[in-house]
Each structure stands twice: as structure tokens, then as C-alpha cells.
Structure 1
Amino acid sequence: MSIRPHRYKVILILTFIISFSIMFFVITNDKNKRIKEHLRQVILTNQMNYDVNLRMYKKLSQQTFDLIVEQPDVLNILQEAQSASETKRSLLREKLYDLTKEKYAKLVKLGVLQFQFVFPNNKDFLRVHKHGKFGDDLTGIRYSFNYVNKHKKPIEGFEGGRTTHAYRFVYPVFSNKSNYLGSVEISFSSGALQESMEKNHNTHTHFIVNKKLFNTNLWKPEIFQKYLPSVENENYLYTVTSNMDVSERENEKKIIDKFMKKDIEKNLKHEKSFALYQEFDNFVKVVTFIPVSHTDNKSVAAYLVSHTTSDDIAHLLNDFRNINVLLSVFLLVLFYFIYRILKSNTNIKIAQKETKSIINFLPSIMILNRNKNMIEVNLKFLMFFNQHKDIDDFLEHYECICDLFEEYDDENYIQETYVNKVYWTDYVKNNKDKIHKAMIIKDGKQHHFTVKVREVIYKNETTDIVQLIEITKELELNNSIKEKEKQLFQQAKMASMGEMIGNIAHQWRQPLNIISVMNMKVEFLLELNETINYDDYEPISKSIAGQLEYMTKTIDDFRSYYNPNKLKENFSIKQSIQDVYNLIYPQLNSHSVDLIITEDSDNEELIIYGHANEFKQVIINMVNNSKDAILHCQENDKDKAGKIEISIKKMNDEIIITIKDNGGGIPLDIIDKIYEPYFTTKHKSKGTGLGLNMSHQIITDHMNGTIVVYNLEHNKEDAGTIFIITLPINKNNNIS
């Protein structure tokens, strides 16, 4: 069908939309990648700043602890307090407070929040920051003291208390005699870390703390003074600091809208660092979340939230919009010029089609139909129907070329004027995806054609050009090739039948011997007693029946393999290989050749659509070749143990079957010729040279697979060959 100018417009518009969509997708993807990389750099920067400040506090706490444990008076007080009375402990507590209060006063200026000593039983002995409170059992409140007093190892992390949270560094304390005395805590407020980051890195930050950190009523007065509801997420609390900027908090509420809240909620579940951005009229804000680990190191207790302005992302977004505008203009101009060119070319083609020479010199039969009537034919038509001098003479005998179409057993052949109640030329035009054919008998001979119909403007009117391309010689050649293939397959199958009969004879030898022995036993009992009772005869009968059943099973396997049924069917790859195993293993065993089958498909049944017996023939050919190669090696090394391995596995939508042997391999100068028909290195009495040729055709042509061969040379003893067969699953088959 020709493309008219208005149809060019539709096609070009659709092409424009598709082109713009593709380029928009590419540019958007690039923009998103750049933004993602920028956000990653922001996260790394904030993480690094956080880590630097945290290491500083860790170093300070370690130095403080080292100074404490180096004081003999401190250790002596803790040692004596272990078993002292309450009165004595009070005196010791005051003494320890006097020794540490000046140090604590200096630490407070550096951000230390809490400084306390705790007994091994988790009861606090002295809170330097609140020395009037002591004796509380912290077992169910503070995980850090539970851990240190139990394992006698230091611990650090973010942890809540009764009313507040802190970065806690807890250390075990030992006497000079290595007696365990309890633990010491040095905690820093998150506000100190926040202020340090804002001062050193010029970044607005704040902490949001998970409500689960406080096993208490969240809104009792002490907590209400230190926390506010988080703008970012309802499950977190905003940490109030002494220098909190109310205006900054209001700006945060504007930045974090309901859409960003959803993204925050989704990312918080992963408990990893992340960053999000929000675009405003003239700037872009980036909000970064750095997770803060709980002392148990199993969960995230809080997040350090930072707000920064990103000029880079703002520029990226602005460039993205500008590029899209330029791209739209460019594509519009480009497609306008393409339309003008196509329209001009269309007019030229229409003028060319108005001459009859367009069809006269084509090697195929050409017919011009208009309103279901033949109006023109080419010279090839008149040469084929040479009994008619011209089209008028032809039309005196027939109304349409379709009147000559004969019946043919193929659904692609047009055999009537109307197909599915549609005029045949319209049917061909409406089903362009199909290959349409027709058959005409002339002088007693069948002539086959492919049929094509397309609509053109001829002499200013819509006209159908019908083209009949003769394919008779091609069909005859294909039929000849198929017949030769059939003959080759039959020759190869008959060649293997002798071996199969040998297998049956070998498998029957043992049960026949057993039946013979059972028969001799019956004769002996009859000669001895002149009769035989049921108890003596029953085991003999069962033994004979078992052997006969085994022999019947052998015949059934043989008949199944040589079943001439050529209908395709669903069959199991594993079962087919097992059937082959049952047929040929006894013969392999008699030659000291071990056949091993392995599978790696998670007990999945591997089903494929095709001819099961053809596939079995391929496996038999492969195994027989391997067996013959091994026997050849055994002629020089009688002690050589033959081994053939067949493995089955599924990879994506393919089944991989490998047949590996230790038969010495294939010489490199002939490995490329092994699939040629009648090529063999064996004696004429042992091979026809058709097995591998037939196997290659079955796998590649009949099953749409591939087969390759390699030599294996791990060492001289295991040198051999590996065939790799790859078959597609659920492709061009009938599996539902």
C-alpha cells in the first residue's frame, strides 16, 4: 500500500513523539545520574565531617579515662567501695567526687554531658554531673552498662537514658591486681557535636531521635523541654539545643513537604545514609540524613540531619529544561524538512508509477486490479499464459486470476475468491505478516507462487498491484533436500539398530541363564520326587516371572526408541536421557565404561517440544562415539577405565547438556569435519559417518539449538572430548 502525503504527516508526528521521548528519557536519565552522584558526594562530605568530630570526642573520652585509672586514689576508692557499708560508701563517694569534679568542670566546656562510676552489678556509685543522685539500678535502662559489666570490654554509641540521649563511651575499670571494679561512663551531648559541625563546616544540622529510644512517656515535662516533634517523620523527635534558631526550623517545615516526607519514610526503613533535594524558585535545598548507631550496634537510634543549598543541582535542573526546549525546536525543524523531502519524493514516485514499464520488465507475474477487475498485466503474465494473446482474451475465459488457483493442503495457500468472507486481494493486504501462496496447474504440472498485493495510485486512481513470484524450483529443491535428510536419518538409525539388538542380546543373556537354571531345578525336583509341591515351585515361578518382566521391559524400551511416530510432543529431557541409559548401559558396562548422569536443575522437570526419539538418537550417537574412542584407547592401555559423563542443567531459558569422555580427544586437523556426512575415522564395519551429521541437523534444524565440541587436555589420562548441546525452552514450541 502506498503512503499518501497525509499519512506521511501521521507517521512523522508519531516518529517525532517517539524520538523526543527517547531523547527525553536519555537526557533525564543522565540528569538523574548526575544529581545522584552529587547527592552521594554530599552524603560522603557530611559523613566525613560527622566521623571527624566523633573521633575527636572519642579521643577526648579515652584520654580522660586513662587519666582517671592512672590515679591510685581513684582505684583504691572503687576497690574499697565494693564491700563497704552505706555509711562508708557515702564517705568514699564524696572523696571520689572531690577528686573528679574539677576534671568534670573542664570537660563540660568541651561538650561532656555525663560522667559517672557504676558498680559491676549495674548500680551507679557516683554521678559526677549529679553527685547527689546515686544507687539507681541501670540494668533495664542502659544497655551499655549491661554489656561492659558482663563482657568487661569497652563500648561506644548513641544511647538514651531516662530523659535524654548522648554519645556514650563506657570503659571497664580494673584494679592494679586486675580485679574488676565496675565501669566508667563519659558521655557527650549531641548538641555539642551539632554545634561543632556547624562551626567547623558551616552546615546547619540537627538531630532527630527515634522515639523507641525512650522507654517512657514521651511527653512528661523533662522530655518536653528537650525535644519537639520532628518535621521529618512522626516516629522521631527533634533535639532542642541552647542555640536553636526558630527561623531555621520554620524553613525546614517549608522544605520538607508531604512528598518529601514519603521519600524520607521510605528511606528511613533501610537505616542507611541518604540525601534528598527540593527545588524552589531560585535555589535548591539538599537534606542529608546520616544514621547514628545505637550502642548495641544492631539498630539506628538517631539521624544527623543537615540542610545545605546546592548551586550545582540548581544549574543541572536549569540546563535540563533548556536542553529540552532546544531539543524540541531542533526536532520540529528537522522533521519539517524531512516531511518536505518525503512529500516531494512521493510526487515523483506517483508520476513514475503512471507508466506501464514499472511492471513490464519484472521477472514475476504482475497484475493490476481495480475494483476487483483485472485492468493490466505484464509480459511475464502473457508468457506464462501463452495460450492467450492478451488480457482481453484471458478475461473471455476467466474473471480473475484466482479462478486458476487450485486446492493445496497448506493454510497459507489462497484457494478461493473469498478468504474468510474477504476478497482475496484485500485479505492479502490485511495480513501482511503472513506469507501467502497459490498453486496453478499448467500443462499437467504444478506451479507454485508467493502472492503479494500492494495498493498504489495508478493513473490517478487507487489500484492493487498483484505480484506472483514462482517458487516451484525452490520447493522441489527443498523437498529433495528433505528426502535426502530422511534417507540419511534412516541409514544412521538402521546402523545403530544393530548395536541396540546387541544390547538386548547382552541384557537377555543373564535372565535367560537364570530361567535355564530354574528349569533345571524343576527337572531335578521332578526326577527326585516325581512331583513338585506348590511351596517348592512358587519361588521358582516368581523368579522366572521377574526375569520375563525384565526382558519385556527391555523390548518395550527398544520398541519405544524405534517408534516411527513423527509427531512433535512435549517430552522430558531427563527421562529421555534415562531411557537411553537403560538401553546402552549394559553394553558400556561390559567394556568397563562407566556412564554417569548428573543434573543441576533443583528437581525441576525440564520439558521441551519436539521429537523425543530424535533427541534420544543424538544422545546415543554421542555416547557411542565416546565409547568407540575409549575402546580405541584401551587397545593400547588395557587397564584404562572408561568414563562418560552426561550433565544436565538449566540456565535462564536454555537447557545445557554436556557429554564428556576420557577417550583421548579428536585430532585438531579433523575436528572441523566431524559433522560432514559420511566422514568417519572408524573402519567401515564400525561406522557410517552419518551419526554426528544427523545429530547436528537434529539439534540445529529441528530443535533450534546449538552443538559445539572441544578437546579436554587436563592430563594425559583424562584427555578426551566434550560436546555441549544448548536447547531453548518455550521457544517455537507447544508448551502452555
Structure 2
Amino acid sequence: MSFKFRAQLIIALIVIAVSSALTFFHTSNESRYAKERSLHASENVKMAFNSMTDDLEHFYVYRAYTTLHLAGVIEAIKKRDTKQLYTLTLPRYKALIDENPHLMVMQYHAADGHSILRMHLKDNFGDDIASRRPMLRTAHAGHKMVTGFEGGIHGMAYRIVIPIFDNNTYIGALEFGIDTGYFVEKIKQMTGSTSILMIHEDYLGAADNSLYKEGLGTYRYTAAITEAQKKYMDAFSDHNHAMKPKNVRIDEKDYEINPLSLEDSEGKSAGVIICIDDVTGGYQNILETVFGSILLTAALLLLFWALFEYAFGALIHKLNFQERYIKTILDSQKNIVVVTDGEEIIFVNQAFYDYFGCSSLEEFRREHSCICNCFEKGESDEYLQPTIDGLLWTDYLTQHSDKEHKVKMTVGGVSSIFTAHAQKMKYENQMRHVVVFTDITKLNQLATQDVLT
């Protein structure tokens, strides 16, 4: 693997690692924000619902107070005078219907549990309704206001049962029942959520049995829901028997589904409103972040690749120039210059090629791995050999630099005598020796033939 490729690979890995870390950070934040939005959505629905029930209770307690203080109303209740009570209360009842069309029940109850008057069904009275309605039994037994969801003749409703006293004597109760559709509409107005009402099968009233047939588990929803709403319900119920808040994806859109429990007077679940919010935009942010990260990574890789190519090219150009500069200097030398590790030749100058009559270092290596293979023995021990005293010839040269070392080599039948000088060079734990061979053949001949010389 070349240095250039390794450098490019390292840069690419760094860019990808940094980009992945940033992407993970952003997507984690987006996921956290999505969870927080889901939690806030659920809390907002609960807060809106609690606000609605509180407002209803205060509103109808006040309306009950004003109604019961109409002249003759308390006496009619005590006497169980249904006709008189209806006549006195009818204008007030009509006003209440105008104020809230979802008011489905307004009923007077006697202390013994029997119905005195149903304003919404005036000809139906006198039945022991408390025997069928736990909320009424609780109100009559405790002489206190009781609220919660409960089924009845007209179906599931949020009921507010207000005790009636005459001189501190409990004489009965006034009940208001608000249709569950009121909450569905209000939640839509306050939170923007699409809502689906489901009623627990144990709380289905007489009117509910014909409407609420299909359902999930022990809950039933009206057959009037759309096919799209059924998709929401199926996706929400899948592996979610506890009906916890859930994020689902339907038809390439993302939804947060939050259930709102409708509790009876004892805190038991009488039904549930399923609130559905389209949060496709929120989850789209995560996809856009990932897609943007991929594009950014690709752009950074391209940018760094271009910069690296430019910088590496400039560096290589400079190195090539310096190499040619050094090679020119070395090639201009008549002395043979060899760079070696002592066993293998790494670099030579032109004088080397000229002397050995080869055109490349590879050609020389086919015959000799080391120039020391060409060393010959001379008439004395001053001539270098591949190993001397257990040392490689290069190490011997550097360790005995104070002595003159001769080398005898024969090429093409012609023997030459050289002096050898070496310099040690260390780089990144690699040892190299630069050896200069100076041809002294003629000087040696003169020294042996001419006494004066």
C-alpha cells in the first residue's frame, strides 16, 4: 500500500468518523426532541382534559345552584312533583342546551335512589335508577358531589352528580351528563389532535350497545369510524396491549398516538380517547439530517481529496525536483557513489553505471545483490572484503574511518583500485551507508613503478 493511498485512506476515515459523530449527535437530539414532543403532546392532552372537566364541574355546580334557588324548585323535589318541577326548570334546561348542545342528561334524583324527573325524557321517571348506577349510590350514601364517566340509558357520558340539601337535610341529587363527543371536539380545538372514542365493554350503556360493536381488546369503538382511522387503531394496538403512547408510520407518514383514559368515579377506566397527531415533519427532520450528513461527508471527502491531490502533487513535484537536483550533483561526480544497507544496493550514481556497464540498478542486481560481491583480495589486508573481523564491510568502514581502505574490482578483464569512504545515515530506525569509491588505479601503478613517485 503506497504512502499516498494510506494518507488518503486515513483522511477519509477521519472525515467519515467526524461526520458520523456529528450525525449521531444531531439524530440523537432529534430523537430526544421527538420523544419530548410525544411526552409533551400526551401531557398537553391530559392537561386539556383536566381543564375541561374542571371547567365543566365549576360551570354546572353554578348552574345547579341557580336552578335549585328558583322559587318552588326545592319544594317540588321534596314532594316529588314531577310536573311542577319540569315546568319550573324547563326554561333553565333550554338555556343550558343552548350553552352546551352536548348536554345529554339533566335529571333529578330522590334520596332513596329513585328518579324524580328526566328533563331530557320527562315521561320516564320513578324507576330505582340508583340500583343500576354506582355513581348515584355513592352520591346518596356520602351526600357529596361525584363526577366521572358512566353509561346509562342514553349511553356513556361525563356525569356530575350534585347533592341537594334543604336546611342541611339531604333530599336528593341533581345530575348533569355531558356527551363524550364534547371532549373529542374540545381536544381537537385545544390540541389539534384527531380523536377516536372507545368505551370499555363493562361500561356500555343501553344506547351504546348498538353503536359500539368493533373494538380493541376490552374496548369498543363506534362503527362510524373511517377506514383511515381503523388503520391508526390497528397500528396502535399492534403489540401494545397496555395501550401506551406509541409512534406509528402509516402510508409514509408518522403519527404520535396518545391514549387518554376516561375514568369513572372510582378511578377505573370506563373508556379511552385515542388522540392522533401527524408528526411527519418532526421525523422528516431526522431523515433530512442523515441525508444532509451524507451529502456533507461526500462534499468534505471531495474537498479533502482535491486539497490532498494538490498538496501531495506539489510535494511530490518539490521532492522530484530535489531528487533530480541531488541526482544531477551525484551524477556529475566521477567517483562511484553507492547507498546501501551493507547487503543490498539502494541507490547509485551515473559513475556506477558507467563503470559496471549497466543501464539500471535492476540489471546489476540480476548478477549481484551487493557491490561487495565484486570485491577482490589484494596483495595485503588493506583491501576490503564483504565481511572483516565479523563486521559487514560498511560497518567496518565507519568504525575505522581513520584508516585508508582500498577496494579492488575487475570489470571486463580490467582491474581497478579504489579508496572507499563511508558515512552512516539513520532515518526512522533504518540504517543506510553512503559509500564513495575513488578510482586510484593510475596512482597505485605509479607508486609501484616509479621509485621517485
What TM-score do you get using the length of structure 1 for normalisation? 0.38
Match of 2:249 in 1: 278
SS, match of residue 164 in structure 1? coil
- CA distance in structure 2 between the partners assigned to 1:3 and 1:134 by the alignment: 98
Q: CA deviation at 1:227?
A: 2.3
Distance 2:307 2:390 in 1: 43
Q: Answer yes or no: is 1:205 the counterpart of 2:176.
A: no
* Residue 27 of structure 1 pairs with residue 26 of structure 2: yes
Deviations 1:218-264 (A, max 9, x none): xx8x434332524xx44322257xxx6x6xx2222344553x43375
Hey, what does 2:329 align to over in structure 1? none
Residues 287 and 306 of structure 1 are in contact (CA less than 8 Å); yes or no, is this contact kept in structure 2? Answer: yes
Deviation at 1:35, TM superposition (A): 1.9
| Aligned 8 A contact 1:210 1:237 in 2 | yes
**In 2, are the aligned partners of 1:152 and 1:172 still within 8 Å (CA)?**
yes
Partner of 1:103: 92
Structure 1 residue 155: deviation in Å? 1.9
Does structure 2 conserve the Cα–Cα contact (< 8 Å) formed by 1:139 and 1:146? yes
1:262 counterpart residue number: 238
Matches of 1:162 and 1:135 in 2, distance apart?
A: 14
Deviation at 1:158, TM superposition (A): 2.0
Distance (Å, rounded) in 2 between the aligned partners of 1:195 and 1:57 = 14
CA contact (8 A) 1:20 1:331 kept: no
1:235 maps to 2:207: no
Contact 2:194 2:276 in 1 (8 A): yes
Partner SS, residue 36 of structure 2: helix
Structure 1: gaps (5+ residues): 82-91, 349-353, 358-387, 393-455, 460-736
Greater shift, 12-21 or 205-214, is seen at 12-21
Is the contact made by 2:16 and 2:297 (CA closer than 8 Å) also made in structure 1? no
Conservation of the 8 A alpha-carbon contact between 2:196 and 2:275: yes
The letter of the residue matching 2:62 is: Q
SS at match of 2:177: strand
Contact 1:279/1:314 (<8 A) preserved: no
What's the offset of the Cα at 1:138? 4.2
Q: Shift in Å at residue 319 of structure 1?
A: 2.5
Equivalent positions of 1:48-63 (< 5 A) are 48-63=47-62
Please tell me the residue identity of whatever aligns with 1:291. S
Q: Distance in 2 between matches of 1:201 and 1:251?
A: 20
CA contact (8 A) 1:255 1:278 kept: no
Instruction: Return the letter of the residue paired with 2:298.
Output: V
Report SS of the residue matched to 1:225. coil
Q: Which residue of 2 aligns with 1:187?
A: 177
1:331–1:151 distance in 2 versus 1, CA, 3 Å: farther
Q: Is the 8 A contact 1:173 1:180 kept in 2?
A: yes
**CA shift at 1:145, angstroms?**
1.4
Inter-partner Cα distance in structure 2 for 1:93 and 1:198: 39
Aligned CA distance change for structure 1 residues 7 and 138 (closer, same or farther; 3 Å): farther
| Equivalent residue pairs, number | 329
Q: CA RMSD in A?
A: 4.5
Residues 317 and 252 from structure 1, CA distance in 2 versus in 1: closer, same or farther, beyond 3 angstroms? farther
Aligned counterparts of 1:143 and 1:319: Cα–Cα separation in 2: 54
Q: Which position in structure 2 is the counterpart of 1:252?
A: 229
Name the SS for the 1:174 alignment partner. strand
Would the aligned equivalents of 1:229 and 1:237 in 2 still touch at CA under 8 Å?
A: yes
Seen in structure 2, the aligned counterparts of structure 1 residues 30 and 101 have a Cα distance that, compared at 3 Å, is: same
- For structure 2, the 5+ residue unaligned runs are 320-338, 343-387, 393-428, 433-453
| Counterpart code for 1:252 | Q
Is it true that 1:77 corresponds to 2:60 in the alignment?
no
| 1:279-678 correspondence runs (5 A) | 280-281=251-252, 284-296=254-266, 298-310=267-279, 312-313=281-282, 316-330=285-299, 332-333=301-302, 390=390
Question: Matched residue of 2:111: which SS?
Answer: coil
Aligned amino acid, residue 262 of structure 1? D
Q: Cα gap change, 1:335/1:142 in structure 2, threshold over 3 Å: closer, same or farther?
A: farther
Q: Partners of 2:276 and 2:62 in 1: how far apart? A: 33
Structure 2 CA distance for aligned equivalents of residues 62 and 310 of structure 1: 39
Deviation per CA, 1:160-218, whole angstroms, max 9, x where unpaired?
2366211111111111x21111222111111233345556776543322233333x8xx
* Structure with greater Cα Rg: 2
Query: Helix, strand or coil for the counterpart of 1:182?
Result: strand
CA distance 1:355–1:314, change in 2 (3 Å): same
Task: Confirm or deny: 8 A CA contact 2:106 2:118 kept in the other structure.
Answer: yes
CA distance in 1, matches of 2:43, 2:219: 23
Partner of 1:731: none
How much does 1:327 deviate? Answer: 4.2
Structure showing greater relative contact order (alpha-carbon pairs closer than 8 Å, 6 or more residues apart): 2
Matched-pair identity in %? 18
